[in-house]
Structure 1
Amino acid sequence: MRIIVYTALMLWAINSHGLTFQASVEETEWRLSPSIFECEFVQPIPNYGEAVFYHEAGEDLMFHLKTKKNLMGQGEAALHIEPPIWGPSRFALDLGLVAIHQSSVPLKVDPGRANHMMQALMKGMQPTFTRKARYDENEPIRVSLSAANFNSFYKDYLGCVAGLLPVNFRQVAKSKVLFKGGGDYLDAESKKKLDLIILYVKADPKVKALYIDGHSDSSGRRYNNRRLSESRALKVSDYMVKKGIDPGMLTTRYHGERYPVASNKTRAGRELNRRVTIRLEKEDEDMEVEF
């Protein structure tokens, strides 16, 4: 039944006219907001809002629409790739359905289809969303991206993507390194993870503090475990300082076996408890203390 409904909706979307929002060739513009943290590639859509390709550091490409007043009815919009008016002999291609929400960002498109949309624009095709109107079920609303001038700005977008950091704040804000065996040795995998954190901290002036907490499993005496957790925390902080992190940003603590994250009764659990956690804190941003 869903396949029948979906097929009917796609045919209605492709063949309907309704109220269309799209920049003309003369009006079409692309705006790139580049940084090492994100690339935002935007096409203003007259009388509607903005079509936004968004590529964050460490993530894949996403797409969303922005509008001050959403005219699409809640439900699912049909997403299809249409030929431009000067190339009507080319076939339309459907990319499925996209959920519509009543907000200033009424729809978001996943990375796979967002990349497909961008490839279509490179070929001169027009990604188009169609959904019945919010206030009139018989009136389709169409929002279509113009491919005009796209390739002229695409190179600038690629340059922005090439300059992105390999990670974003969410990916490094709460991290941990594990210590195999019973020692305090930082292996190559741990150093690679720490290097990414260090790279991000150096690039983002909003990071104001790093909290480094050492832990152990419950094997052995508590006193020895506490000293071992201290040694592990100091190995991490010393590594970061040697790599250029300001020691004044670091708060180093050690807790022994007091805060296990897994059972110490199993080998796998003990391996998870032998750890150092690293938490980053930004200006004007309160984060939960996590050991």
Structure 2
Amino acid sequence: MKTPLYYALFLPLTLIASLNAQAQYAAFPATPWGYEAHDQRCLLEQTFPSTGAVARFEQRNGQRLTFELVNQLFQPLSSPTQVYAAPPVWRHDRPLRLLGKTTRQRGTTPFRFSAELAEQMLVSLENGNAALLSYPDLIAPAPGQTAATDPVHRQITLTPAFLSPALIDFRSCVIQLAQFDVNKLDLMEIRFNYGSADLDRKDREMLDQLVNRLPVDQEIKSIRLSGFTDSGGLAHQNSEMARMRVLSVANHLISAGIDPAIIDSRYSGGGKPRYSNRTATGRAGNRRVDIELIR
């Protein structure tokens, strides 16, 4: 199998010796970066098949970026780890740059970086550098020995993410997360003027936020639209107005790319007021479409 040109240009294998010429190093090959979106979080991952390790950047709604490395196969010693930014091999004039230090822990998640270090490392990867995690470990016991003896410097190399489709998707996902107030979007209401089923600019912007959220929150199964009116007018007129208001909202969502099959439309006219119809403020609140996200 031929090595892709991308890795031939960027994978900094020649930099292993530059960290410590006297030490013995073991490096692990990695797969290309991958992207996933789950409920209110974005993931950028790279796996190391020979060890079963997974390096993961995670951005959750309302929180700072995190980085962790999950490792199921080997349990490294608890010891200091240096994190370097390594330029591509064609920039051999540039030295390694120390991004920070951390402590590797025992267990299946030996690396959990601070938000500051995680953000520095992701920016460095985005700029075309590799990230090197270098730490001392022990070689497995030789035949006839009961304990490991000779230390080995292990190195985990995260390959550059420059121009990676996964990174582009990840950054887009993070931008979308920043636009959402989760509590407001789970149950929204669009209000209407008296006798009208028209959406104004603010209504359309709110619905567009909902459309942008759906690719991020993959647990949403359907969108329930419930139309209402105030108590003015005849019952059949109110029912028709409620239907038209639901239709306005549904049509906007569909025109923005929402699958009509996941839209559940209901309307009941003025028969189920949320607010008192005795005041102008209450009647304005009853002229609405409720939007509920069903999981």
Distance 1:236 1:254 in 2: 12
| Matching of residue 51 in structure 1 with residue 55 in structure 2 | yes
Give the TM-score normalised by the residue count of structure 2. 0.50
> Could you report, residue by residue, the CA deviation over 1:25-55 in whole angstroms, capped at 9, with x for unpaired residues?
xx34242225788663314286472212346
Look up the match of 1:154.
162
1:214 and 2:212 aligned:
no
Gaps of 5+ in 1: 1-21, 131-141, 282-286
Instruction: Report the equivalent of 2:249.
Output: 236
Task: Write the mapping of 1:1-291 to structure 2, written as runs, cut at 5 A.
Answer: 24=27, 27-34=28-35, 40-44=44-48, 47=51, 49-54=53-58, 62-68=66-72, 81=83, 93=100, 113-120=117-124, 126=132, 145-146=156-157, 150-151=159-160, 153-156=161-164, 157-161=166-170, 167=176, 174=186, 176-179=188-191, 181-182=193-194, 183-195=196-208, 197-198=210-211, 209-215=222-228, 223=235, 228-242=241-255, 247-255=260-268, 256=270, 258=272, 260=274, 275-279=288-292, 287=295
Deviation at 1:189, TM superposition (A): 2.5
What per-residue deviation string (whole Å, max 9, x for no partner) do you get for residues 130-161 of structure 1? 9xxxxxxxxxxx997435xx23x432144444
Specify the code of the residue in structure 2 equivalent to 1:116.
Answer: Q
Residues 82 and 246 of structure 1, relative CA distance in 2, 3 Å threshold: closer
Q: Work out which of the two has the higher radius of gyration on C-alpha atoms and give 1 or 2.
A: 2
User: 2 CA distance for matches of 1:230 and 1:34?
Assistant: 40
Deviations 1:105-135, CA, capped at 9 Å, x for gaps: 67765765422222355555545799xxxxx
Alpha-carbon contact 2:57-2:65 (below 8 Å) kept: yes
Contact 2:83–2:132 under 8 Å retained in 1: yes
Distance 1:191 1:248, change over 3 A: same
**Which residue identity does 2:68 align to in structure 1?**
H
Q: For residues 128 and 257 of structure 1, do their structure 2 counterparts lie closer, same or farther at Cα, with a shift above 3 Å needed? A: farther
Secondary structure of the equivalent of 1:31? coil
Aligned length: 237
TM-score w.r.t. length of structure 1: 0.50
Whole-Å separation in 2 of the counterparts to 1:236 and 1:161: 29
Q: CA 1:263/1:54 → structure 2, altered by over 3 Å: closer, same or farther? A: farther
- Residues 214, 145 of structure 1: CA spacing in aligned structure 2 closer, same or farther, 3 A cutoff? farther
Contact 1:81 1:125 in 2 (8 A): yes
Structure 2 CA distance for aligned equivalents of residues 111 and 269 of structure 1: 46
2:69 partner SS: strand
C-alpha RMSD of the superposition: 5.9
Task: Specify the code of the residue in structure 2 equivalent to 1:49.
Answer: A
Q: Alpha-carbon deviation of 1:69?
A: 6.9
In 2, distance between residues paired with 1:254 and 1:215?
6
How far off its partner does 1:236 sit?
1.0
Checking the alignment, whether the CA contact within 8 Å between 1:128 and 1:143 is kept in structure 2 is yes
